[in-house]
Amino acid sequence: MKKIHKIFVSAAGAVLSAAMMLMTLGGCADILNLTPTNTVASANVWQDASLARSAVLGVYNEFYARYSYGGGDWWGETFETYSSVMDNDKNWRENVTVCYGSATPSSGTFSNMYKYYYTFVFRANDVISHIDQVPDMDAEEKARLKAEAKFLRGYAYMVLNILWRGVPLYLEYLDNPGDANRPRSSEEQVWNAVITDFTDCINEPSLPDKYPAGSNDYGRVTKGAAYAFRGQAYQFLAAAADNPDEYLKAALSDFEEIEKLGYSLYQGAGQDSYFELFKPANEQCDEIIFSIQCTVQNGMGNPRAILYGSRVTGGSAWNNYLPNPAFVESFENADGSVFDWEDYFPEWNSMTPQQRSVFFLRDGMTEDEKTRMEAYGADMTKYLDSGNEARILAAYSARDPRLAMSVITPYATYVGSSAGLEHTYTLRWPYRGSDTAEPFDIRTDTNDKFYYLWRKYVPEGLECTTRWVYEEDILLCRYAEILLRRAECLNELGRTDEAVDLVNKVRARAGHVLLDDPRHPATAVEGQEDMRERIRNEFYWELGGEDSMYFNELRWGNWIERKFYDRSSGQTSSAVNSNGLMQIWGETTYNWILLGDYVQVWPIPAKEREMNPSLTQNPGWMD
């Protein structure tokens, strides 16, 4: 039984709520008997082992404030929407502050995120500074809990450093939050602190390599997680180094250790393994290295069921996050060749987006529907009254299998639900129908537009019937990502052949053609630079939608190019600010706005600089 531990702690870890609960998936709850019944002073926490354990769980609890609806200010906001992989629907566009065009140091996203990750830091520091004082706890447990807190502190500083590139370092507990007035440490100093925290975890004998599925401790920090994130930190250092080989070798060594600890690709469902990986039944398989434990409990569920879904998901979800057409079009053909709309519609590139919409129309259009689409601009001379759907389906059927397992494409089916009953729906245009009757079109929040929809992380049928509490864990790191990171390091070190072997393990699990397959010329790897691009593509296809690609794009230095320039429909050069939310055929609903290259680094929040004048601002940002 998966056990979720929830505890509320003040930002600096000074006060603990007495309403500490141990929640279980089975619906039972054991309320710990604590005295006094209102609050417990921080000094008293460290005099009791039960309270001290709960304080450690309070650090973990900060994940729910960030990722679960009801736990914080973000409603499950994901960093992935900052990447080129996906976009917000137009009603949520302003949430992607750094891409919206009106961002300033006073914008709430920056201050909220800064506060959020420093809450992790201060809670962890409370544990690290005081756990050794607990009289009724053995030394081994103290060491393990301290290592867990160090990992969580290192994780928080890692994110802070990626976003702000140098922040104040606090590596001890502050009795008075008003003393948090240090100047910024350098980016290198913060990376060193991050690596030190992860190294302490790796060197701690009491920290397990991994927890088995079903363990009550599953979801807690392990050596596997510490190796995975320390390796990522080395990769960031390598990206900024004049001579990166030392860091690349260190990263590679860490990633190689993970396999020795018992982690492996999930392959238990054959060719459907990639799809089934994101189902609750497999959330504790050997592929998962670190994840946020979710359950059917308000404030502790996976909100992506709602935010990635549709109005026929779990009895009426939303579709706030939408796959970008360029991301969808990037998926290879089944033979490993580059997908090109011109192979299916030779006039595609010469047509306007409105004209292209004809290829996406449903069979058997009514005269009224045809008239409306013609007025919209569709080239109705190319419409097939019977066979229009089959024609467009062909463009999606012979592709990398991960496309169909990640994204709902036009005329693909999806098993959803309405009014407590399962139905098989189809993504058609224009929308007709009813949630509970033929033709069972997928209904969305955006029925006046035709967008791609997520399938990854979206429950099917009656898997989730209560809003905001889908039980699928949120994956923060899994073994397939580590294989790709290993391949990246090997290729950068000139060991391209070895990198090919690792990438092929990931492709094979999904049922995709392997690289360097002599039967398919397009798979031939032509040296290090070609392989670099192939590995980066694998990151997108394997990890898209999992909250990973924004940080990768920042590390690779291609974020501006990918986020603000349209790369859909065969376009290889276009004006800046041309990318954004688009309908499937390429018509733009809105554009992202690039204020300048400086937005690659977030501004120190204005509120923080008011409270701490020693904080200098990042270049380009004006308070």
- Which pLDDT tens digit goes with each residue over 165-205? 999 999 999 988 788 999 999 999 999 999 999 999 999 99
**Distance between CA atoms of 612 and 614, rounded to whole angstroms?**
5
Residue 74: what pLDDT?
53
Beta bridge partners, 332, equal none
Asked if residue 84 is part of any domain, the answer here is: no
Residue 36: what pLDDT?
30
Residue 14: what pLDDT?
30
Residue 38: what pLDDT?
34
Q: What is the mean pLDDT of residues 434-450?
A: 95
Asked if residue 220 is part of any domain, the answer here is: no
Tens-place pLDDT, residues 459-490: 999 999 887 889 999 999 999 999 999 999 99
Q: What is the mean pLDDT of residues 47-71?
A: 90
Q: What are the structure tokens assigned to 416, written together?
A: 């959803």
Residue 298: what pLDDT?
82
Tens-place pLDDT, residues 348-403: 999 999 999 999 999 999 999 999 999 999 999 999 999 999 999 999 999 999 99
207: Cβ contacts below 8 Å, ≥ 6 apart? 144, 147, 148, 201, 221, 222, 223, 226
Asked if residue 607 is part of any domain, the answer here is: no
| 574 has a pLDDT exceeding 80 | no
Q: What are the structure tokens assigned to 145, written together?
A: 């809990």
Residue 68: what pLDDT?
82
Asked if residue 86 is part of any domain, the answer here is: no
Q: What is the mean pLDDT of residues 147-153?
A: 98
Identify whether the C-beta of residue 273 lies closer than 8 Å to the C-beta of residue 267.
yes
Beta bridge partners, 46, equal none
Residue 87: what pLDDT?
96
Residue 603: what pLDDT?
98
Residue 18: what pLDDT?
26
Residue (of 488, 554, 518, 529) closest to 82 by Cα position: 554
Q: What angle do CA 85, 165, 231 make, to 5 degrees?
A: 70
Residue 11: what pLDDT?
32
Q: What is the CA radius of gyration of the chain?
A: 25
Residue 178: what pLDDT?
83
Q: What is the mean pLDDT of residues 560-576?
A: 85
Q: What are the structure tokens assigned to 235, written together?
A: 């990769």
Residue 511: what pLDDT?
98
What residue has token string 């050069």? 573
Q: What angle do CA 523, 526, 532 make, to 5 degrees?
A: 90
What residue has token string 């002599």? 518
Residue 76: what pLDDT?
58
Asked if residue 9 is part of any domain, the answer here is: no
pLDDT band per the 50, 70, 90 thresholds, residue 21: very low
Residue 40: what pLDDT?
54
Tens-place pLDDT, residues 221-251: 999 999 999 999 999 999 999 999 999 999 9
**Distance between CA atoms of 167 and 177, rounded to whole angstroms?**
16
Residue 495: what pLDDT?
98
Asked if residue 32 is part of any domain, the answer here is: no
Pairing relationship of beta strands 288-292 and 321-323 according to DSSP bridges = unpaired
Q: What is the mean pLDDT of residues 206-214?
A: 98
List strands edge to edge, sheet with 21-24. 3-6, 21-24, 29-31
Sign of the dihedral defined by the CA atoms of residues 103, 106, 112, 117, in that order:
positive
Residue 53: how many other CB atoms lie within 10 Å:
20
Residue 449: what pLDDT?
97
Q: Do you know the residue count of the chain?
A: 623
Least confident range from 342-346, 495-499, 566-570: namely: 566-570
| 143 has a pLDDT exceeding 50 | yes
Identify whether the C-beta of residue 410 lies closer than 8 Å to the C-beta of residue 428.
yes
pTM of the complete model: 0.93
More confident residue, 15 or 528: 528
Identify whether the C-beta of residue 73 lies closer than 8 Å to the C-beta of residue 66.
no
Collapsing DSSP to helix, strand or coil, 291 comes out as strand
**Distance between CA atoms of 165 and 161, rounded to whole angstroms?**
4
Beta bridge partners, 322, equal 87
Q: What angle do CA 480, 484, 489 make, to 5 degrees?
A: 145
Domain count, the chain: 1
**Distance between CA atoms of 13 and 373, rounded to whole angstroms?**
59
Domain range enclosing 468: 306-472
| 71 has a pLDDT exceeding 60 | no
Collapsing DSSP to helix, strand or coil, 130 comes out as helix
Amino acid found at 212: P
Q: What is the mean pLDDT of residues 61-81?
A: 76
Asked if residue 316 is part of any domain, the answer here is: yes
Q: What is the largest CA-CA distance in the chain?
A: 82
Tens-place pLDDT, residues 515-560: 999 999 999 999 999 999 999 999 999 999 999 999 999 999 999 9
**Distance between CA atoms of 362 and 543, rounded to whole angstroms?**
31
Q: What is the mean pLDDT of the chain?
A: 91
What residue has token string 């391209």? 496
Asked if residue 72 is part of any domain, the answer here is: no
Identify whether the C-beta of residue 413 lies closer than 8 Å to the C-beta of residue 393.
no
CA 603 vs CA 22, 161, 185, 498: distances in Å: 38, 12, 15, 40
- Name the DSSP letter for residue 358: G
Residue 117: what pLDDT?
96
Residue 299: what pLDDT?
85
Residue 41: what pLDDT?
64
Least confident range from 23-32, 252-261, 418-427, 466-475: namely: 23-32
